[in-house]
């Protein structure tokens, strides 16, 4: 694989960008030139419609983007992912999250087996045949995990609140800050609480600390260690470590090293989702993702949504000085979606070397951020409209609110969403007062779906997963490792040792030692 800048298309793209950036160029003039532009630059996969007509794209620039994709062997890279090739080259692993969504899993019988085990467990909790140590039904589930073992399940569970099974509440604890676990447990009864310990590696400090604290809390009431079996289950690739922690072997749900943490909500890591929304709905979530997988695998690059959107981001990062993308769901249930995407996007694309270890010659992953609309309009949209940053925006909206008797209110939400993308594109450039001038020429994508259902959410998440992969292939970086987070984990061990002994403290750098000494002095104060 070559560096993208070696593609002949790279130079052409630079010229297209210069053409689009000319002072007299107006993004909305593209609609005058091509009255069918909406049809030409939008597409649908399942129920998800993506409109990318408000981007700097025309047939000439699109041809160059597609040429770049060909030069970077994108079709072969897509096929390699689906075939289970070792595309995670630094960890010598496949990245086969798509296999978790295949309806009849002949390739991996262990996936179907695990789904069946999850289904039986979920059913038993729901029909109350699985009870706690006092024979009471489970009323609360606490998922303890962090990163990919928390963000996806937490976001999906919150997004699909309308589908929650009555009588069972699912909570998520991730932070090693004791306040997180404490604030959740304060409301719960140990006799009716089930803990799901979710950790691919089962070595993650935060999860260990929280799981141990949860067990202590539970045993204070339950007394007998044998009662743990009815209140603690675990999901991991490291089944021995989970068993060592004291999880009953019957309560272990496996996952596999070819599932990346941030791509794992489709695996047993999705257990809290299935507990929250029921197993049929969990299967709908998988089916929606599979619909997007088929679209990504089988659709020509020209009409392939993750491909088109990924190429546009590459274009902006390289030639428009774009440092970030804002994702704004006009859907309060999706408020956590940007936080979830931050791990998917930045842990995958925050890389500075290519797959062969050479330093990249282009910008790679930009910052991803956002909050639910319309709230964002009353905080950071000012910067999007008149600030100096070039920030492409992703809008997400649903035709139906899911709330009874809300048609008028929901139409206001949708009207705001559509108006913002129009305002970003067209602005108000003719205004005399410079303070009131809105330059426009700011691109956005709008995703619309009929309703926020498990299937549509599955499709939306899978679209972003594949968009991330497209960008990684063009940049020739590995989207599936995360070596950068290891250093902090190692350093935190020596820092922790510093609390316990003066010798370790003496070896610290002066700044860390100064801070640590002061923290220890204040620790004693009441
Ligand atoms: O933050 C680093 C990371 O390794 C993520 O990639 C992962 O999702 C998270 O920690 C949690 O890891 P685990 O599931 O192994 O506890």
pLDDT tens across the length of the chain (526 residues): 689 999 999 999 999 999 999 999 999 999 999 999 999 999 999 999 999 999 999 999 999 999 999 999 999 999 999 999 999 999 999 999 999 999 987 789 999 999 999 999 999 999 999 999 999 999 999 999 999 999 999 999 999 999 999 999 999 999 999 999 999 999 999 999 999 999 999 999 999 999 999 999 999 999 999 999 999 999 999 999 999 999 999 999 999 999 999 999 999 999 999 999 999 999 999 999 999 999 999 999 999 999 999 999 999 999 999 999 999 999 999 999 999 999 999 999 999 999 999 999 999 999 999 999 999 999 999 999 999 999 999 999 999 999 999 999 999 999 999 999 999 999 999 999 999 999 999 999 999 999 999 999 999 999 999 999 999 999 999 999 999 999 988 899 889 999 988 888 889 999 999 999 999 999 988 6
Q: What is the pLDDT of residue 423?
A: 98
Q: What is the pLDDT of residue 341?
A: 98
Q: What is the pLDDT of residue 524?
A: 81
Distance from the alpha carbon of residue 84 to the mean position of ligand 1, in angstroms: 22
Residue nearest to atom 10 of ligand 1 (CA): 147
Residue linked to tokens 């594109």: 425
Q: What is the pLDDT of residue 104?
A: 82
Q: What is the pLDDT of residue 47?
A: 98
138: preceding bond cis by omega (within 30 degrees): no
Region label for 204, one of left (φ > 0), alpha (ψ between -120 and 50) or beta (otherwise) = beta
Ligand 1 atom closest to Cα of 146? 11
Q: 348 CB less than 6 Å from ligand 1?
A: no
Residue linked to tokens 């079709």: 75
Residue linked to tokens 């569970």: 157
| Separation of alpha carbons 279 and 91, rounded Å | 32
| Separation of alpha carbons 415 and 385, rounded Å | 17
- Give the Å distances, CA to CA, from 7 to 69, 72, 227, 316, 355: 9, 8, 62, 17, 17
Q: What is the pLDDT of residue 237?
A: 95
Q: 152 CB less than 6 Å from ligand 1?
A: no
Mutation test residue for ligand 1: of 145, 146, 245, the one with most atoms within 8 Å of CB: 146
Ligand 1 atom closest to Cα of 207? 16
Return the closest-CA partner of residue 331 out of 372, 370, 380, 381: 372
Ligand 1 atom closest to Cα of 262? 8
| Separation of alpha carbons 346 and 366, rounded Å | 7
| Separation of alpha carbons 173 and 207, rounded Å | 9
Report, in angstroms and rounded to the nearest whole number, the Rg of the chain calculated over CA atoms: 25
Residue nearest to atom 1 of ligand 1 (CA): 147
B/e letters for 124-134, b = 16+ CB within 10 Å, e = fewer, are ebbeeebebbe
Return the closest-CA partner of residue 400 out of 455, 450, 328: 450
Q: Residues 359, 363, 367, 368: is their CA dihedral positive or negative?
A: negative
CB 444 within 8 A of CB 393: yes
Residue nearest to atom 6 of ligand 1 (CA): 261
Three-state DSSP string of 455-477: HHHHHHHHHHHHHHHHHHHHHCC
324-329 sheet: strands from edge to edge: 42-45, 48-51, 444-449, 393-398, 324-329, 367-369
Widest distance between CA atoms in the chain: 77
Return the closest-CA partner of residue 452 out of 372, 339, 335, 334: 334
CB 242 within 8 A of CB 181: no
Q: What is the pLDDT of residue 526?
A: 66
Distance from the alpha carbon of residue 262 to the mean position of ligand 1, in angstroms: 8
Q: Residues 253, 256, 260, 264: is their CA dihedral positive or negative?
A: negative
| Separation of alpha carbons 389 and 488, rounded Å | 30
DSSP β-ladder status, 393-398 and 324-329: parallel
Q: 482 CB less than 6 Å from ligand 1?
A: yes
Distance from the alpha carbon of residue 213 to the mean position of ligand 1, in angstroms: 19
Q: 427 CB less than 6 Å from ligand 1?
A: no
CB 449 within 8 A of CB 460: yes
| Separation of alpha carbons 394 and 371, rounded Å | 11
Q: 346 CB less than 6 Å from ligand 1?
A: no
Question: Backbone phi, then psi, for 232, in 5-degree steps?
Answer: -130, 125
DSSP β-ladder status, 140-144 and 367-369: unpaired
CB 406 within 8 A of CB 426: no
The enclosing H or E element of 427 equals none
| Separation of alpha carbons 12 and 10, rounded Å | 5
Active site residue ranges = 347, 378, 489
| Separation of alpha carbons 422 and 444, rounded Å | 9
pTM score over 0.85: yes
Own/partner contacts of 209-214, CB < 8 Å, gap of 24 or more, are 209/176, 210/144, 210/173, 210/174, 210/176, 210/180, 210/181, 211/144, 211/245, 213/178, 213/181, 214/142, 214/144, 214/173, 214/181, 214/185
């Amino acid at each position: 694989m070559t560096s993208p800048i070696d593609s002949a298309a790279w130079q052409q793209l630079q010229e297209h960008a210069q053409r689009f950036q000319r002072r007299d160029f107006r993004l909305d003039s593209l609609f005058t030139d091509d009255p069918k532009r909406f049809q030409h630059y939008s597409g649908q996969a399942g129920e998800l419609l993506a409109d990318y007509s408000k981007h700097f794209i025309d047939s000439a620039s699109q041809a160059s983007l597609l040429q770049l994709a060909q030069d970077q062997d994108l079709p072969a890279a897509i096929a390699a992912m689906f075939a289970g090739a070792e595309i995670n080259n630094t960890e010598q692993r496949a990245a086969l999250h798509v296999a978790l969504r295949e309806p009849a899993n002949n390739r991996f019988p262990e996936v179907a087996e695990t789904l069946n085990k999850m289904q039986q467990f979920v059913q038993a909790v729901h029909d109350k045949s699985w009870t706690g140590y006092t024979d009471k039904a489970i009323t609360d589930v606490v998922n303890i995990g962090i990163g990919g073992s928390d963000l996806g399940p937490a976001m999906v569970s919150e997004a699909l609140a309308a589908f929650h099974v009555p009588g069972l509440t699912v909570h998520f604890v991730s932070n090693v800050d004791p306040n997180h676990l404490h604030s959740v447990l304060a409301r719960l009864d140990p006799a009716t609480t089930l803990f799901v310990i979710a950790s691919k590696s089962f070595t993650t400090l935060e999860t260990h600390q929280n799981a141990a604290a949860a067990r202590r809390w539970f045993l204070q009431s339950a007394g007998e260690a044998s009662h743990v079996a009815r209140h603690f289950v675990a999901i991991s690739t490291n089944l021995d470590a989970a068993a060592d922690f004291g999880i009953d072997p019957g309560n272990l749900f496996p996952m596999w090293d070819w599932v990346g943490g941030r791509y794992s909500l489709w695996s047993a890591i999705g257990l809290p989702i299935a507990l929250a929304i029921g197993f049929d709905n969990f299967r709908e979530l998988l089916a929606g993702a599979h619909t997007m997988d088929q679209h990504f695998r089988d659709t020509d690059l020209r009409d392939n949504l993750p491909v088109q959107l990924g190429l546009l981001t590459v274009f902006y990062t390289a030639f428009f000085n774009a440092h970030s993308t804002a994702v704004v769901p006009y859907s309060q249930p999706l408020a956590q979606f940007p936080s979830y995407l931050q791990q998917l996007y930045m842990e995958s694309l925050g890389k500075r070397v290519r797959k062969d270890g050479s330093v990249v010659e282009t910008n790679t992953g930009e910052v991803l951020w956002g909050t639910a609309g319309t709230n964002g309009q009353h905080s950071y949209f000012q910067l999007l409209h008149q600030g100096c940053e070039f920030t492409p925006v992703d809008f997400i909206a649903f035709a139906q609110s899911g709330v009874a008797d809300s048609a008028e209110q929901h139409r206001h939400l949708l009207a705001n969403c559509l108006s913002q993308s129009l305002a970003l594109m067209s602005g108000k450039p003719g205004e005399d007062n410079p303070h009131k001038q809105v330059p426009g020429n700011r691109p956005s994508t709008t995703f619309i779906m009929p309703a926020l259902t498990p299937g549509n959410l599955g499709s939306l998440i899978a679209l972003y997963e594949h968009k991330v992969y497209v960008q990684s292939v063009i940049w020739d970086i590995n989207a599936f490792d995360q070596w950068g987070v290891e250093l902090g984990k190692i350093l935190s061990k020596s820092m922790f040792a510093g609390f316990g002994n003066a010798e370790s403290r003496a070896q610290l750098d002066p700044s860390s030692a100064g801070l640590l000494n002061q923290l220890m002095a204040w620790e004693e104060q009441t």
